[in-house]
Chain A
Amino acid sequence: MTVAADAPPASPPRDDKRWRQVDVRIRRLGARPDALIEVLHTVQEVFGYLDDDALSYVSEALSVPPSRVLGVATFYSHFVRKPQGEHTCVVCMGTACYINGAGAILNRIHDTLGIDAGATTSDGRISLLRARCLGACSMAPAVVIDDEVHGRLSPDAVQHMLEAL
């Protein structure tokens, strides 16, 4: 990213009303530097991902160096730096899911959609993600499609669900 490298920090896209939600959150947290992760969560909830403008703005608002904001945004796997697809499909790769066939599910999705984990289909419809463990071990293997957890799945079942999206 190019925050403050060759240009003054980009001013936040004020015309977008969604920034108000972020501002409210920043104010409620007292604009303290230690609220960085909380604020990044809010930005991602509102906009879906963290782009350079957003990071610059958060950096200014919380008085945290841009390097540290970028460091935090890239350290944690929950934060994404690219827009996600219309739908998200998260395949749990926890131990229980893994030994119960999560690998086969991932392979099938790869074959069906032609993308690897972490990527979005070229038409921007579906993003494929891998989770470390969703804690849904009793229902392994589990897949989350658009925030809804589905358990005890087969590659066929997942393919059907994705085709029905």
Chain B
Amino acid sequence: MTEAGTPTPARRRRQDPLIPAGPVRASAHVCMAAGCLSMQADTVFDSLCERVTARGLTDVAVKRVGCLGLCAAGPLVAVPETGRLFDRVAAGDDAALDGVVDGLAGGEGGRPIATDPFFSHQVKVVLEHCGQIDPERVEDYVAVGGYESLTKAVTTMTPAEVLGEVTRSGIRGRGGAGYPTGLKWTTVAKTDSPHGKYVVCNGDEGDPGAFMDRSVLESSPQQVLEGMAIAGYAVGANHGYVYVRAEYPLAVKRLTTAIRQAEHAGLLGPRIADTSFGFDVEIRIGAGAFVCGEETALIASIEGGRGTPRPRPPYPAASGLWGKPTLINNVETLASIPTIIGRGAEWYSAIGSGKSLGTKVFALAGSVVNTGLIEVPLGLTLREIVFEIGGGLPGGGKFKAVQTGGPSGGCMPESLLDMAVDYESLAQAGSIMGSGGMIVMDDGTCMVDVAKFFMDFCREESCGKCIPCRVGTTQMYGLLDRITRGLASRDELAELESLAGMVRDTSLCGLGQGSPNPVVSTLRYFRDEYMAHIDDHLCPAGVCKMEPREAALAAGEVAP
């Protein structure tokens, strides 16, 4: 394979990076993740290439890279040599584009990355290479040490040693439930299977408000493939599947390119690093079903059927894809593995606190200034995340709640802002870590309406297999709808609470079991808002349209 730094071709094709033949003095990293791309980052890239060439800067590179994180201020261009970030470099904005070229030529401009609070609180493990490398060039990933961990694992470690390293790192599943990864791997490794095992990467990021997996797959797809191959070596699997949502066409495209390039370069496929270990990867594209994020439903979907879950046990670790032992990990978990093997379990477990070790990627969105992708050590407080990294609420808005964990999570009020963000604290507060979506809400948001929003989601996404979820979510939605229309009585609220417990306790899978969480957590922290809708017939946030009670009485919609 070719090394990074190939000479500049005489005629640069559109989309090719601009790489000088000699030493590079400065390089422009143009963010090509979905956020910036929607703001014509590809045109920005072309314009920068043209301007750098026109200015005769022969020692300057212009590269297409993955997510730079600060999506709120895109399109983004970073110059790592000077440590500066140029934001809002809009296509056709001559001043902004020339500003970047000036910065490349040695001038000032942009904002310093090192001291910017958005970046300075972050610790990047999973996102280490996001925004540093071109996601569509395997040479770039290899140049930053990619595939060294896989080579290290297969040539110098036994599978048991890899398992030990992952176990000692303390990493837990980043998909939501937080099951210890080392334990899961060990279970799969211990299960004998003469006819093979599988590694599945769960990229069915269905939580509304979460885009971490999308960004990782779009920005550093090789890292996920390397993590899968290491997992395959550790548990004794030679075949992997990546399951990606159909809603992420760019991630699918880059992953497809990444697999092709890695196989072409001999980094994946048979006889990795001249050993007897081989590993190949296939992509499976989802088709828009939230429940497929549940592991047994995901397996059914890969097998080509309806994505409905089944009771566990047997767990996929014992009987998964086509009845074979199957290791299923989230994108972020697998993307952490190369670093854990490369730098060692001790290095990784020094990050984080208590039983929540390492880092977690969050997608910060909603009413917050710095929307974007962040990676922080576990154990940081909500306040640090929302107000220091996130820069607080825009326009001086008043903080009301932060929602984590999507439709299975909960809303945390202001009184919990100093709570540490780790698996145990979040569970205690009635939420879950979830996959990492974090939505900030201001006082213009009605919490009953938010609960209704999530219940509507669960109701529509329920696969219909078990009755508590299929019927329970619909009934709960109906009750919430009546509350937001000002028609509900206190008795109906009591019914809602009792249903919440029933659905949680009796549903088949995580979708149903978690679906009451938004209701329960908003009732716990924002009960007064529910009571205002019911007793005072008003929505404190001014979101819900109350129906006149007299008319409803006459129509027999409410009890007298």
Residues of A within 8 A of B (CB): 32-38, 40-41, 64, 68, 71-72, 75-79, 93-96, 98-100, 131-140, 142, 148-151
Contact = CB atoms under 8 A, between A and B. Distances in A.
A131 B247 contact: yes
B365 A138 contact: yes
A150 B34 CA distance: 11
Given A99-B445, A99-B450, A78 B288 contact: yes
Interface residues of B, number: 52
Given A95-B406, A96-B439, A36 B38 contact: no
B315 interface: no
A139 B246 contact: no
A135 B331 CA distance: 15
B208 A149 contact: no
Nearest to A100: B366
B453 A98 contact: yes
Contact of B290 (A68, A99, A132): A132
Given A71-B306, A77-B287, A137-B365, A150 B209 contact: no
Given A72-B306, A132-B290, A137 B209 contact: yes
A138 B71 contact: yes
B89 to A, nearest CB: 16
Interface string B441-464: 100010000100110010001010
A133 B210 contact: yes
B207 A133 contact: yes
A121 B210 CA distance: 32
Contact of B304 (A37, A77, A95, A98): A37
Nearest to B306: A75
Contacts of B119: none
A105 to B, nearest CB: 15
B305 interface: yes
B412 interface: no
Most buried by A among B206, B305, B364, B406: B305
B303 A96 contact: no
Contact of B305 (A72, A96, A142): A72
B304 A149 contact: no
Contacts of B211: 135-138
B367 interface: yes
Given A78-B288, A100-B366, 10 more contacts: A37-B287, A38-B284, A76-B289, A78-B287, A93-B208, A96-B439, A135-B248, A137-B209, A138-B72, A138-B363
A138 B247 contact: no
A95 B453 contact: yes
A132 B407 CA distance: 11
A38 B38 contact: no
Contacts of A139: 35, 38, 71, 371
B485 interface: no
Given A77-B289, A78-B288, A138-B371, A132 B461 contact: yes
A140 B365 contact: yes
Nearest to A142: B38
Most buried by B among A37, A41, A131, A140: A37
Contacts of B306: 71-72, 75
5 closest Cβ pairs, A-B complex: A138-B71, A76-B287, A78-B288, A94-B208, A133-B208
B305 A68 contact: yes
Given A133-B208, A136-B211, A99 B38 contact: no
A34 B35 contact: no
Contacts of A151: 35, 38-39
Contacts of B445: 99
B287 A95 contact: no
Contact of A99 (B287, B288, B439): B439
A138 B68 CA distance: 13
Given A75-B306, A137-B209, A96 B39 contact: no
Contacts of B441: 99
A99 B366 contact: yes
A132 B457 contact: yes
A40 to B, nearest CB: 7
A75 B290 CA distance: 11
B284 A137 contact: no
Contacts of B473: none
Contact of A135 (B214, B307, B457): B214
B302 interface: yes
A99 B367 contact: yes
